[in-house]
Structure 1
């Protein structure tokens, strides 16, 4: 594995057991930068908790857990988050005795308070997207976490913005937006790559699009037609706007899904899966999708509502042009709006002459009513689709497993024949529902 200069610097510092403040742009690989040395410091023989990663959202916890399992299959790790019974997690904790957990603040404290998690042996605590943890109203929880882990030898904090931290704290002893209990008596080494954004500027194009009307829906439809089948995230400021725009696009036959914090978790999961799998090319979202989600190959970002500040613009736009990819950030400007001052260099695109014309995605999603709890694996799903369904690997895309369901992306052109072929067939000896996923 080839590491970036930022990752090499961070890995070396973490391996020296230093307290670290890692500042690096969105999409630059911060997760691996802290996770690789933390993995190296785990003891595979010890059946005890050795490291804790605190994250602001369930989605980010699951995402980082997946990266951990990919890079360290010899170790045991699990996610802890709200929205599911804590007792189920407790049973799992007792069963696997994890070396590391990936937890949202409230659920972590819940397990500690109930005695489900023995954390005093922990040698490292990571607060990933630490400024976001505070933004989302976790300040009290983070204070309590600071008390619980006051004696933990190593603290690692990550953020994609510098000035958010500075404006959120009144402390003069440190620039960190974290509770004093995590800072007290500690010296932090700051690894700051936020100004090292030349390559990002080269990969990210910024374009403004004028809307002749205050309501930008028609201009959005024309712009999406211009972008064609590339994957796009449309950012809005309010949940109600996300729902309204999602309905408009769906009624206009665009393949769009909606994602925001007011949706039930299962609906958010389905929306993300459809988007990641390519079965929906447009994700309409609040800023919930601006941080933490790792969605590969997002080719464009549309700021339907203008970002409130440079930090919001940075995080939203950072969903594209990740790593070595290129991407474009579009800003829709109504007649009474102006381009924000923090948007320095940009081109101008006119879509007035474009007739909205949606494209159907080449992928769709197959729902299978069995999952991890039924001992079903991704290899089982792949083998079933190839052997029973007669598909070659090129017609099968992303496969994901939930506790009680599996989702497989297949070429839309192969769907009807596939459903006929596998009708009535058992998967791994089990009868179940197999159908195209509905919205």
Structure 2
């Protein structure tokens, strides 16, 4: 355990994580309720890890998540533990053939979304006979998103489950009988309050169309990482375009986008190519992007749970953050907003924030091509003559990669590397669209 914590840069587990590990040792089934950003992923991965046995050639544990982004995040955390156990994730938008190849040699742990897991089980790609540990992360969201039938199929396909852990950041609806919980112990670490580091503010729009108010607010906030939440996909794209037309660099993200477009949008937001992400509530869970400073509720959340999860993208762990609700002339604040919440007054004039200093380059090679971050750094520093400070965040996926490069250096770099090979292979490198 000490080696794991050291590899994660953590001195000690928090109270919730310690309780989850203890319950994992003594209880058959556990329901873990804890605030967003409190470390629930480690709280279920560490007890799960203690149950994994070496030398077993079958899958031993399954984690079901509501979104592909959450699946990716959990896989990333598990790999960072450096356990030596094989792990793979399965989700829609990911090439099924790639997953099938990864499943041929059974991983000890599989993480996935309900639909894709069900598909693999029906095709015989996942042998469920040895799965003894089941985790359902954000289980309330899975039911809310309409995955009930698929979850029922997956759970009923697991004949050997001995331990179950269900997690959520809200006190959820009733748990269906088909989950087959056996006298579960509930660990409730929900504070019922906004994180201490989270500041709530409100802003009144004089017009029903709040786009101009949003623009002026972002101008006031400056170029700090900001997520703007809308209630509908169409509103996301419209709002994103309106901001772009006014000179605000932003990216948008919602569930109808192709996986490649979602990857590009999130990468640009993570690496600082864009400091504004306009999105639906899809981004309210599963996105672990550090240092998000502002959450803007452009559309009022539909319920308190949504409000909590949106705000959970900021003020994570020890960081601080601010959530701002914009109300139109005909809107009133929800009852769960405390009386006396500070109201923002916008300046008379709006000055565009500084444009981001980074650009994102797309690379047509990834992990499956034996390309890693070290290869990409070496390529850009040696062939592209970049200094380390001119290279930002690098993300390597199965067949593609992204690299943040200082915008002022992009033209020069592309010119220098246009005829160069990466690991003896011709690779397409261009500014990500």
TM-score interval, smaller chain: over 0.9
> 1:393 and 1:14, CA in 2 relative to 1: closer, same or farther beyond 3 A?
farther
| Number of the residue aligned with 1:130 | 139
Q: Does 1:249 align with 2:238?
A: no
| Number of the residue aligned with 1:100 | 109
Q: Does 1:344 align with 2:354?
A: no
Kindly report which structure 2 residues correspond to 1:35-434, keeping only aligned pairs within 5 A, or say none. Answer: 35-94=45-104, 96-149=105-158, 151-162=160-171, 165-166=172-173, 169=174, 177=175, 179-184=176-181, 186-195=182-191, 197=193, 200-344=194-338, 346-434=341-429
Which has the larger displacement, 7-16 or 123-132?
Answer: 7-16
In 2, are the aligned partners of 1:367 and 1:434 still within 8 Å (CA)? yes
TM-score, normalised by the number of residues in structure 2: 0.94
Q: How far apart, CA to CA, are the structure 1 residues paired with 2:319 and 2:278?
A: 21
RMSD over aligned CA atoms reads 1.6
Gap runs ≥5 in structure 2: 1-9
Q: How far apart, CA to CA, are the structure 2 residues paired with 1:384 and 1:263?
A: 31
Report the alpha carbon displacement of residue 46 of structure 1 after superposing the two structures with TM: 1.2
Q: How far apart, CA to CA, are the structure 1 residues paired with 2:331 and 2:408?
A: 43
> 1:314 and 1:354, CA in 2 relative to 1: closer, same or farther beyond 3 A?
farther
> 1:17 and 1:44, CA in 2 relative to 1: closer, same or farther beyond 3 A?
farther
Count of matched residue positions in the alignment of Structure 1 and Structure 2: 422
Report the alpha carbon displacement of residue 338 of structure 1 after superposing the two structures with TM: 1.4
Secondary structure class of the residue paired with 2:196: helix
Q: How far apart, CA to CA, are the structure 2 residues paired with 1:128 and 1:261?
A: 19
Report the alpha carbon displacement of residue 8 of structure 1 after superposing the two structures with TM: 1.2
Report the alpha carbon displacement of residue 181 of structure 1 after superposing the two structures with TM: 2.2
In 2, are the aligned partners of 1:232 and 1:302 still within 8 Å (CA)? yes
Secondary structure class of the residue paired with 2:88: strand
Q: How far apart, CA to CA, are the structure 1 residues paired with 2:117 and 2:27?
A: 23
TM-score, normalised by the number of residues in structure 1: 0.92
Report the alpha carbon displacement of residue 365 of structure 1 after superposing the two structures with TM: 0.7
Secondary structure class of the residue paired with 1:202: coil
Q: Does 1:11 align with 2:11?
A: no
The one-character-per-residue Cα deviations of 1:264-315 (angstroms, maximum 9, x if unpaired) are 1111111111111111111101111111111111100000001121111101
The one-character-per-residue Cα deviations of 1:345-386 (angstroms, maximum 9, x if unpaired) are 521111151314142112111111222222111111011122
The one-character-per-residue Cα deviations of 1:135-163 (angstroms, maximum 9, x if unpaired) are 1110111222232235400000000100x
> 1:310 and 1:424, CA in 2 relative to 1: closer, same or farther beyond 3 A?
same
In 1, are the aligned partners of 2:65 and 2:139 still within 8 Å (CA)? yes
Secondary structure class of the residue paired with 1:52: strand
Gap runs ≥5 in structure 1: 170-176
In 2, are the aligned partners of 1:65 and 1:78 still within 8 Å (CA)? yes
Q: How far apart, CA to CA, are the structure 2 residues paired with 1:76 and 1:196?
A: 37
Q: How far apart, CA to CA, are the structure 2 residues paired with 1:414 and 1:140?
A: 51
> 1:388 and 1:320, CA in 2 relative to 1: closer, same or farther beyond 3 A?
same
Secondary structure class of the residue paired with 1:263: coil
Q: How far apart, CA to CA, are the structure 1 residues paired with 2:160 and 2:167?
A: 20
Q: How far apart, CA to CA, are the structure 1 residues paired with 2:389 and 2:312?
A: 30
The one-character-per-residue Cα deviations of 1:239-258 (angstroms, maximum 9, x if unpaired) are 11001001111122211111
Q: How far apart, CA to CA, are the structure 2 residues paired with 1:72 and 1:103?
A: 20
